[in-house]
Amino acid sequence: MPYELYPFLMFGVAIAILLMGYPVAFSLSGTAILFAFFGVQMGVFDISFFGAYPERIFGVMRNQTLIAIPLFIFMGVMLERAKISEELLETMGVLFGKVRGGLGISVCIVGALLAASTGIVGATVVTMGLISLPSMLRFNYSHSLAAGIVAASGTLGQIIPPSIILIILGDVISSAHQQAQLAMGNFSPTSVSVGDLFVGALLPGLVLVSLYILYIAIVAFLKPEVAPALPEDVLNSVTGHKLFIKVIKVLIPPILLITGVLGSILAGLATPTEAASVGCVGGILLTAFKGKLTLKIMREVMITTTHVNCMVFVILLGSRMFSLVFRGFEGDVAVHELLTSLPGGVASAFLVVMLIMFVMGFFLDFFEITFVVVPIVGPILLMMGLDPIWLGVMIAINLQTSFLTPPFGFALFYLRGVAPDTVTTMEIYRGVIPFIFLQLLMLIILWFWPALATWLPGVVYGT
């Protein structure tokens, strides 16, 4: 077998093993060790490459940015245990209930708030599916429209900061940017931080939520029967002074928490890690304010946080082993030659990478794609002149679209698992299709107007 095919074969074997259902971290590291051993026997791999692995692990351990991951996970799980989403949906539903499609608009807004607090697609989709989907069905919403709203709102954690997904992507993009600058002979490269990606993703995220809301409003106007207003008896259950007090108690505290966390980053008062620690304290205080803080809740939050955090970092360590062996076979050189030889230059290379990531999003979670694929293709695309913040935002929205696309989208599987039996799988598929087109429209807008992602970081950080 030609030496140049080894890295591509290695990548294919890793994907095949993952599709067989084996744990991601062990599939990546196991494939790497297997190919390294085979390469040594064939005389095409230098075993000394493994000497760099301990340093890579140590690099993960001393990475200050990654400390924000368990902190944001803790904040999100704490808010989930406090039943914030249920109270938010109920209150927002009453506020917008007089408007056709008002409940659906409320679900989008609540989904955006949950996305900003958790940033985990599965958790948000499941939470929204259990709470908001039955509510919309009870008030005679179309099954397909209700399912589409829930699935699309649940994936907003991909793009709305602050979220652990953007933290991980920002850290990987930052490393790729430095590699690209050094490869081009710039030994004093400009830095790209997670905060830059947070700020860059803010406007596209808000525009995307606005597109969702605009679509729901148009559908409700054209077809009132698929998204009716709430009945008068529901609207009259909480009015006047009681409604005002409920809004103050339910809506303001989580908005203040999220605004405080994100605002401290935007204002340059805190790094994402520091802001995440403030978010943890705020989450605990908010849960106590709701009267839900108990030792049992704290224990459940700590256990869940530990489980998710371990999953993320074990995948990270496995991916470090995979990328090390991949580069040992000069896979990065092969990928670079492949992308740079495509007709059409940087546009073709970018579209090919986005298409590959989109397809991989059917089978792999965001963490695997970010840890394995982005470190390989990121430096190459950045060397071709793409803006790192713009590239990070495009990747996040691209994968968000992939997670919504039938028949393999992760969000669809999560929603199918919690949706009532009265909602069929085909209704879920039909419901998400308009939102997929809205996602593609967002990608097109960013393609022709990259300043939507790059303008605000320049204003905030003066870059």
pTM over 0.75: yes
Closest to 162 measured CA to CA, from 127, 197, 128: 197
Which residues of the chain are modeled with pLDDT < 50?
none
Q: How many CA atoms lie within 13 A of 129 on its CB side?
A: 26
Give the residue carrying structure tokens 């955090």.
Answer: 309
Q: 433 phi and psi, to 5 degrees?
A: -60, -45
Q: What is residue 211's predicted lDDT score, i.e. its pLDDT?
A: 95
Q: What is residue 147's predicted lDDT score, i.e. its pLDDT?
A: 92
Q: State how far the alpha carbon of 254 is from the alpha carbons of 88, 100, 164, 247, in Å.
A: 9, 26, 18, 11
Q: What is residue 400's predicted lDDT score, i.e. its pLDDT?
A: 87
68, 167 in Cβ contact below 8 A? yes
Q: Count CB atoms within 10 A of the CB of residue 58.
A: 10
Q: What is residue 234's predicted lDDT score, i.e. its pLDDT?
A: 66
Helix (H) or strand (E) holding 145: helix 143-154
Q: What is residue 417's predicted lDDT score, i.e. its pLDDT?
A: 81
Q: What is residue 397's predicted lDDT score, i.e. its pLDDT?
A: 92
Q: How many CA atoms lie within 13 A of 196 on its CB side?
A: 23
Helix (H) or strand (E) holding 214: helix 194-222
Q: Which residues contact 365 (CB under 8 A, 6 or more apart)?
A: 24, 410
Query: Is residue 303 packed enough to be buried (19+ CB in 10 Å), middle (13-18) or exposed (0-12)?
Result: exposed
Closest to 201 measured CA to CA, from 457, 404, 463: 457
Closest to 22 measured CA to CA, from 283, 253, 368: 368
Alpha carbon 394 to its chain centroid, in Å, reads 12
Q: What is residue 123's predicted lDDT score, i.e. its pLDDT?
A: 65
Residue 400 in tokens: 């968000």
Q: What is residue 117's predicted lDDT score, i.e. its pLDDT?
A: 62
Per-residue model confidence as pLDDT tens digits over 383-428: 988 999 999 999 999 988 888 888 777 788 788 888 888 888 899 9
Alpha carbon 460 to its chain centroid, in Å, reads 23
